[in-house]
Structure 1
Amino acid sequence: MSSLLFPEVDEKATKERVDSLLKNYHKIRRLSGMPIEQKVTATYSLDPKSFTGMNSSAIESGTIKKLDSVSLYRDINAAINTLDAYYGERIYVKYINSTRFYDYEVFSAEQISEATYYREVG
């Protein structure tokens, strides 16, 4: 019954994906607040227009990128806010803080062992 409610999760792959996502947190935050600027100059092309339903306009693709970034930014912050304060602080120090620290700087400043740090943060 538990397999129906909670399917088996590949923890290693999940950790790698979360780590990759959080390493791009600053980029996502920057993109979510990025103003969308229109091109001032005309673009001339001999290529025929695409009628595949894909958004080819720079404004549309910029808007979609911004909306995706805003949604992702909110989801990341909501996920971090659901964590216990202790673990939320660990994530903040490792990924979100404007000053990037190496792992050894974090666990030595927190006065915890390297094994404990990697067990908690990953």
Structure 2
Amino acid sequence: MRLFKEIDKYFTKKNAYEVLELYRRYARMAGEEYTPKLTATYSFEPKSSGFTNKTTETQVTNRVAACDELEEITRAINRVIDPYIRQILIEKYCKWHIKQDKAIYTDLGYSESEFYRMLERGAIEFAENYRGGELLVFRKFLGDVC
């Protein structure tokens, strides 16, 4: 009997890449201003009958959620053991300027195959560290009792 189930690397990496791809969006959302919008009548909240405008509340909620998500992603990246792999994850997913993979591995001095091996290891480690392993996908075995 195994203590831990085997990780399905394909789906785990897919989950990790999906979350990492959202980093820049969350960063933009976290930086949004949540000042009320002026209407055509120069009032902060439009007059309406029975309709409540929750634009500011929604913006604040979205900003707080984006900040929380950024914090979780950053924490998971920082827990990746190898600093070179951390650097690859940051260069690829967290920098404002989006670079092609070729530019990243050339700038960092890695071969293409080495870069992708390190990126895959980083995605697995990120998935293990993100929200207590929430992104991990385990293989199902026919003989599993648990």
Fold shared by both chains (TM-score > 0.5): yes
Segment of structure 1 superposing worse, 88-97 or 30-39? 30-39
Residue 93 (structure 2) aligned to one of 83, 92, 95: 95
* Residue-by-residue CA offset, 1:39-63 (whole Å, 9 max, x unaligned): 3331546xx769xxxxx72222212
Please, which of 16, 24, 27 is the counterpart of residue 26 of structure 1? 24
Work out the CA distance in 1 between the residues paired with 2:35 and 2:6. 44
CA distance change for structure 1 residues 77 and 38 in 2, over 3 Å: closer, same or farther?
same
Matching residue of 1:2: 3
State yes or no: 1:63 paired with 2:60: yes
4+ residue runs of structure 1 moved beyond 4 angstroms?
none
TM-aligned CA deviation for residue 105 of structure 1: 1.6
Q: Secondary structure at the match of 1:2?
A: coil
The within-5 A match list for 1:1-122 is 2-3=3-4, 9-41=7-39, 42=46, 44=48, 57-83=54-80, 84-122=82-120
Query: Which 5+ residue runs of structure 1 have no aligned equivalent?
Result: 51-55
Q: Secondary structure at the match of 1:37?
A: coil
Q: CA RMSD in A?
A: 2.5
- Partners of 1:40 and 1:109 in 2: how far apart? 46
Aligned length: 112
How far has the Cα of 1:120 moved from its partner?
A: 1.1
Structure with more contact order per residue of length (Cα contacts < 8 Å, sep ≥ 6): 2
